[in-house]
Amino acid sequence: MTLRIAVLPGDGIGPEIVSQALRVLDRIAQRYQVHFEYREALVGGSAYDATGHPLPPQTLEICHRSDAVLFGAVGGPKWDTLPPSLRPEAGALLPLRKALGLYANLRPALLFPALAGASPLRAEVLGEGLDILVVRELTGGIYFGQPKERRDDGRTAVDTCIYTEPEVERIAHVAFRAAKARHKKVASVDKANVLETSRLWREVVSRVAQDYPDVELQHVLVDNAAMQLIRNPRQFDVILTENMFGDILSDEAAMLTGSLGMLPSASLGEGTFGLYEPVHGSAPDIAGQGVANPLATILSAAMMLRYSFGMGEAAQRIEQAVDAALREGYRTADIWQEGCRKVGTIEMTDAVLRYL
Ligand code: IPM
Ligand code: MG
């Protein structure tokens, strides 16, 4: 079986971490007798430098013709002064999500027991650990609504938050299906006391919930959700929310696990196609030094196996190997603690491969 993977390393540490995830995928390919065909393409600032656009048409074409996309990271100070439509984030990542129809963003915030000490929360609050799945709507809301513009000679600015019923419905189904396979709880986060889009959101989510009688639904206002995540994060199983709230709450949930450098994500649409990327950014300050943490990208590759290729067992093996490497004390600089062994990007991957 041949599976086509579009490989978009991007900027900053992107190329270093993506190459390590490919080593792990190569090992899986051997073990499971599948063939991964990698097609590399330019994205972000490096694509802008080479072609004048952060998302060249060839890149989109390669993604469209692939079974999944492995994405590194984009952005850096060098491109921050470009107009928004040419910036790596707004000019590449957002249009890529939209063009590929990736409306469902899954961001698991999972605490690896070996890293519990790195969480900013006290052990009593963390208890047995954390396992939250943020399901974020990714192609609607205030990120994409029109008009989005300057008025009055630039002295007034407008963004538009807009949601349609079908947009809310499909993301709600993703969350309920995920919850069914987990701890059967969905917390739907909105701002229904103020926003009309949130009132629609709440109505539609409540209706979808009727299709999942074994899943418990709770509506939480976003400010309260931000507070509850710190006060008692273990009450959450699946957090379902719109685009911008999901952006904010997923960073908060990620930080509770102690390291943004550890967390993977999947962006899915209809069917099995998906884009997989680490939640962290391009970290230009440490790019090219061989010290970046490759684990979030390796875990993103595991999510690709699970969600796009139906290889749940292989995915689990990777996750267990990461856990084992951490238990043995291997740490990149971002998660290093006294008494642990500090290693670089390649050695960290070597450790994961040893336990795979
Ligand atoms: C994320 C990022 C992006 C977002 C930025 C880079 C546009 O913060 O993936 O969470 O806001 O979606
Ligand atoms: Mg973000």
Predicted pLDDT of residue 163: 98
Say how far apart CA 132 and CA 119 lie, in whole Å: 14
Rounded mean pLDDT of 242-260?
Answer: 92
User: What would the pLDDT profile of 29-64 be if each residue is shown by its tens digit?
Assistant: 999 999 999 999 999 999 999 999 999 999 999 999
Report in angstroms the alpha-carbon separations of 301 from 18, 191, 297, 325, 341: 9, 34, 6, 17, 25
Please indicate whether residue 7, judged by its CB atom, sits closer than 6 Å to ligand 1: no
Please confirm, yes or no, whether 191 is among the known catalytic residues: yes
Q: If you take atom 7 of ligand 1, which residue's CA is the nearest one?
A: 89
Please confirm, yes or no, whether 212 is among the known catalytic residues: no
Which CATH class for the 1-103+269-356 domain?
A: alpha beta
Q: If you take atom 11 of ligand 1, which residue's CA is the nearest one?
A: 247
Please confirm, yes or no, whether 223 is among the known catalytic residues: yes
Q: If you take atom 2 of ligand 1, which residue's CA is the nearest one?
A: 247
Q: H-type helices in 265-333, by residue range?
A: 295-307, 312-327
Please indicate whether residue 253, judged by its CB atom, sits closer than 6 Å to ligand 1: no
In the chain, which residues fall in CATH 3.40.718.10? Answer: 1-103+269-356, 105-259
Say how far apart CA 262 and CA 41 lie, in whole Å: 24
The token pair that represents 202 in the structure block: 């709440």
Query: Predicted confidence band at 129 (pLDDT cuts at 50, 70, 90)?
Result: confident
Rounded mean pLDDT of 126-147?
Answer: 95
Instruction: Reply yes or no on whether the pLDDT at 260 is more than 90.
Output: no
Task: Indicate the fold that domain 105-259 takes in CATH.
Answer: Isopropylmalate Dehydrogenase (3.40.718)
**Given the residues 67, 190, 191, 307, the one annotated as active site:** 191
Q: Which ligand is nearest to the CA of 88?
A: 1
**Given the residues 251, 342, 350, 355, the one annotated as active site:** 251
Instruction: Reply yes or no on whether the pLDDT at 128 is more than 90.
Output: no
Rounded mean pLDDT of 14-30?
Answer: 98
Query: Predicted confidence band at 154 (pLDDT cuts at 50, 70, 90)?
Result: very high
Report helix angle 295-307 to 312-327, nearest 10: 160
Rounded mean pLDDT of 288-299?
Answer: 97
